[in-house]
Amino acid sequence: MKIAVIGAGAMGGLFAGRLAEGNHEVSLIEVSGAMIDAITGQGLRMNGLFGENAYRLPVGPADRYSDPFDLLIVFTKGMHTTSAMEAARNVIGPDTWALTVQNGIGNVEAIEAFITRDRIVMGMTNWPSTLIEPGLINVPGEGEIKVWAANGQASATLEAIAGALDAAGLNCKLDPHVEVAIWEKLAFNSALNSLTAITGLTVGEVGDREESREIVFTILDEVVAVAKARGLAVDADHIRQSVEHAFANHRQHKPSMLQDRLAGRRMEIGTITGAVSKAGAALGIAAPVTRTFANLLTIVDGEASRV
């Protein structure tokens, strides 16, 4: 399969490296000069679970490429999905498919402006991967991927994409109810990302304080209420167990929003906390704590962009 991974960061690098290991023709679409230079000079380097490897892959902006790809795997942050797809128009053909396992919701709709829904695969992943420096990622442990067709219909191409990911060692499963998994991860991210980004606390520090735990579980309850209003059978107990596991086992972890704030980058608000707030308002479901954090994050994000 001829595959382009859009975004050569921690997750994009993991997927690209493993698919290249499986003898797929993989290219990287990336705009960061530091990332392009590092991968061009030293290859895409990976260590951890799969050993130490360096993959020599084509890398550059979308206009480096001219022919359509069979599959685009989108790994930008949610607020960049539309601009990334716009830049990649030249490599989208009539038979090009897209896969998104990005955080949050709204990414399918953004991609759908460029590729019809019947050629979009959506899902979620909990694979751990950390960008150590440009072009170098560490994979500390195992994870899984769950995917299904965005239009709800099974197909041979959907099975082929899932099969390629699974054969690459990424533990991919077809799940017709993947939207439930997406919302369960959304609840987890809305709570932990929001609180750590505002307070600067690590995951373990959040778990150590009764006040912060109360806020986390209130946000979880609000997201669950919105999801259930959408007709999704999310499992509140399962989400709580995931959060408690993170409190105990990922104590030093700084979630992505906190990492972005500390680095002076824009935070992924609109597809996570902000998306829940808007979905709740549209359904008439009160989510006051989630909405308050979405507003606080937006204020902080706006102030950072003016520095």
Q: How high is the pLDDT of residue 307? A: 43
**CA–CA gap between residue 284 and residue 229 (Å, rounded):** 9
Q: What is the DSSP string of 151-170?
A: TS---HHHHHHHHHHIIIII
Amino acid, single-letter form, for residue 13: G
Amino acid, single-letter form, for residue 304: A
Write out pLDDT tens, residues 210-242.
Answer: 999 999 999 999 999 999 999 999 999 999 999
Strand 2-6, strand 25-29: pairing: parallel
Q: How high is the pLDDT of residue 263? A: 85
Q: How high is the pLDDT of residue 52? A: 96
pTM above 0.85, yes or no: yes
**CA–CA gap between residue 116 and residue 145 (Å, rounded):** 22
**Could you list the mean pLDDT of each consecutive 10-residue stretch along the chain, which spans 307 residues?**
96 97 96 97 97 97 96 95 97 98 95 98 93 94 95 98 98 97 95 96 96 97 97 96 93 88 91 94 96 96 63
Q: What is the DSSP string of 44-107?
A: EEEEETT--EEE---EE-GGG--SPPSEEEE-S-GGGHHHHHHHTGGG--TT-EEEE--SSSSH
Structural domains in the chain? 2-176 (3.40.50.720), 179-305 (1.10.1040.10)
Question: Using a CB cutoff of 8 Å and minimum separation of 24, what contacts does 303-307 make?
Answer: 304/261, 304/264, 304/266, 305/266, 307/264
Amino acid, single-letter form, for residue 228: K
Other beta carbons within 10 angstroms of residue 140's beta carbon come to 10
Residue pair 63/87 in contact by the 8 Å Cβ criterion:
yes
